Structure 1
């Protein structure tokens, strides 16, 4: 059975748990990181002292998007991460693009979720909101020409930004119409693994 180490309020852990459910993989998840801390045994698995980490038989793997690619390649039968290198790359780019988006969103998330009103830097939150809006407009343009970031069908390319899209909407960062992103988000919300593991209270 797949073991996932990491607290579910982590964006990166949400990605992995959601994909495990998309693939119908049995798994056990253990809370690690944040308020749960991490012991020496965990740090031996992941020298970065970050979450998530998975154990799958003899395979121990960290870095969330590497985990997504591994699980999709091993258990997805090309359904979520196609063998065709062009199709794969066109979806794959959004997985890497997500890291830049995460950096843009972080000041708003920290300020609005993890800091008290007295601690918040309103200017930093506003700059983050503007940056997120600019990047989401790029996503909207892409989704105007295809239903999913992965192409004509849901796939691995939708998972990382799908997690961050929920935070974008939950934080109320949208300042301009993004009809294609909003439609994509509604379709993500209909997926059981997304609703159960991504659409949880932000903490």
Structure 2
């Protein structure tokens, strides 16, 4: 059976758990990370030299980086609906997954610890304001995409792009600051809420 190492409060662990359920995969999840089993051990660093979660163990195969894990899982099960087999369809989904990891998530690197986690080390008002502006800028890019598709992030069907961005947008929605009106995102979020796995691992009260 697949083993997933990482605490369920982690946004990146939750995207992997959600993917497993969408792909119909059984898994064993073990809590690692702050407050649980340490990632700062030689044994864990042999699995992931970054000492971060999640880590996937599939027999003798070990994989880290949450988006890479999600891709692997759907390819392993042949879920072409979540990640199309044709090169153009696949690239379309993967570009939004990569945008989530490199652009969207980087926008909240300062403002989320400040306002979401209330970390006293993140208390510079100018950097908080800049972070809010950048985060909202990126949310409007997604809003425009969803206005264009009228359905899901990558087009007419639900894919991995919706999984990774669903969790990120949930974090944006739950972090307290002034936000723009995003009717297409709100309609998309309502569609996500019809999926039981999203309610368990995405919109479940956790940032």
TM interval, shorter chain, is over 0.9
Instruction: Say which of 151, 155, 165 aligns to 2:155.
Output: 151
CA distance in 2, matches of 1:165, 1:117: 24
| Residues 112 and 75 of structure 1: CA distance in aligned 2, closer, same or farther (over 3 Å) | same
Displacement of 1:159 in angstroms is 1.5
Displacement of 1:174 in angstroms is 5.3
Identify the residue that residue 54 of structure 1 maps to in structure 2: 56
Instruction: Say which of 106, 110, 118 aligns to 1:107.
Output: 110
Q: TM-score scaled to structure 1, two decimals? A: 0.92
SS class of match (2:109):
helix
CA distance in 2, matches of 1:127, 1:118: 16
8 Å Cα contact 2:111/2:127 also seen in 1: yes
8 Å Cα contact 1:112/1:120 also seen in 2: no
Displacement of 1:76 in angstroms is 3.8
SS class of match (1:21):
helix
Alignment of 1:21-40 (within 5 A): 21-36=21-36, 37-38=38-39, 39-40=41-42
Displacement of 1:118 in angstroms is 8.5
Identify the residue that residue 124 of structure 2 maps to in structure 1: 121
SS class of match (1:200):
coil
Alignment of 1:1-203 (within 5 A): 1-36=1-36, 37-38=38-39, 39-99=41-101, 100-116=103-119, 120-146=123-149, 147-173=151-177, 175-202=179-206
Displacement of 1:173 in angstroms is 4.3
Deviation readout 1:60-115 (Å, 9 max, x if unpaired): 10111110110011114312111111111111101000121111112121112323
| Residues 86 and 174 of structure 1: CA distance in aligned 2, closer, same or farther (over 3 Å) | farther
**Residue ranges of structure 2 left out of the alignment (5+ in a row):** none
CA distance in 2, matches of 1:59, 1:190: 33
> Aligned pairs, how many?
203
SS class of match (1:144):
helix
CA distance in 2, matches of 1:200, 1:40: 33
SS class of match (1:35):
coil
**Residue ranges of structure 1 left out of the alignment (5+ in a row):** none
CA distance in 2, matches of 1:43, 1:109: 27
